[in-house]
Structure 1
Amino acid sequence: MSEELTQDDFLGGKIKIWQPRRGYRAGVDPVILAASVPAKPGQSVLELGCGVGVASLCLAARVPDLQITGVEVQADYAALARRNGAENAMPFTAVTADLRALPADLRQKRFDHVIMNPPYYDRAAGTVSDDAGKDIAFGGDTPLGDWIDTGAKRIGPRGYLTLIQRMERLPEVLDALVGRLGAIVVRPVAGRASRAPELFLLQARQEGRTPFRMAPALIMHEGDTHQCDQDSYTPLVSDALRSGAELPILP
Structure 2
Amino acid sequence: MSAAVTENGYLGGKLRLRQPARGYRAGVDPVLLAASVPAMPGQRVLELGCGIGTALFCLGTRVAGLELTGLEVQAEYAALAEGNAVSNGISARIIVGDLARMPDALKQAQFDHVIANPPYFDRAASTAARDPGRELAMGEDTPLAAWVDAAARRLAPKGYASFIHRSERLPDLLGALQGRLGSVKVLPLQSRQGRDAGLILLRARKGGRAAFRLHAPVLMHEGTRHEQDGESYTPLLRAVLREGAELAFPE
Report the TM-score when normalising by structure 2.
0.97
Offset at 1:3?
7.1
CA contact (8 A) 2:11 2:240 kept: yes
Structure 1 window deviating more from structure 2 (85-94 vs 52-61): it is: 85-94
Partner of 2:93 in structure 1? 93
Deviation string for 1:89-108 (max 9, x for gaps)?
A: 11211111011112112010
Equivalent residues in 2 for 1:40-119, closer than 5 Å: 40-119=40-119
Equivalent residues in 2 for 1:197-236, closer than 5 Å: 197-236=197-236
The amino acid of 1:116's aligned partner reads A
Partner of 1:191 in structure 2? 191
Structure 1 window deviating more from structure 2 (38-47 vs 223-232): it is: 223-232
Count of aligned pairs between the two proteins? 250
SS in 1 for 2:19: strand
Equivalent residues in 2 for 1:146-165, closer than 5 Å: 146-165=146-165
RMSD: 1.1
Q: Would you identify which runs of 4 or more consecutive aligned residues in structure 1 move more than 2 Å?
A: none
Structure 1 CA distance for aligned equivalents of residues 127 and 12 of structure 2: 35
Offset at 1:248?
1.1
CA contact (8 A) 1:189 1:201 kept: yes
CA contact (8 A) 1:201 1:249 kept: no
Unaligned runs of at least 5 residues, structure 1: none
The amino acid of 2:130's aligned partner reads D
Deviation string for 1:186-209 (max 9, x for gaps)?
A: 011110121101110000001111
Deviation string for 1:42-77 (max 9, x for gaps)?
A: 000000000100000000000000001001101100
Structure 1 window deviating more from structure 2 (16-25 vs 95-104): it is: 95-104
Structure 1 CA distance for aligned equivalents of residues 15 and 211 of structure 2: 37
Unaligned runs of at least 5 residues, structure 2: none
Offset at 1:123?
2.0
The amino acid of 2:247's aligned partner reads L
SS in 1 for 2:7: strand
SS in 2 for 1:94: strand
CA contact (8 A) 1:158 1:205 kept: yes
Partner of 2:244 in structure 1? 244
CA contact (8 A) 1:117 1:163 kept: yes
Offset at 1:125?
1.8
Equivalent residues in 2 for 1:24-35, closer than 5 Å: 24-35=24-35
Matched, 1:171 2:171: yes
Structure 1 CA distance for aligned equivalents of residues 224 and 115 of structure 2: 31
Partner of 2:123 in structure 1? 123
The amino acid of 2:108's aligned partner reads Q
CA contact (8 A) 2:3 2:20 kept: no
CA contact (8 A) 2:120 2:140 kept: no
SS in 2 for 1:45: strand
SS in 2 for 1:238: helix
Report the TM-score when normalising by structure 1.
0.97
Structure 1 CA distance for aligned equivalents of residues 198 and 61 of structure 2: 27
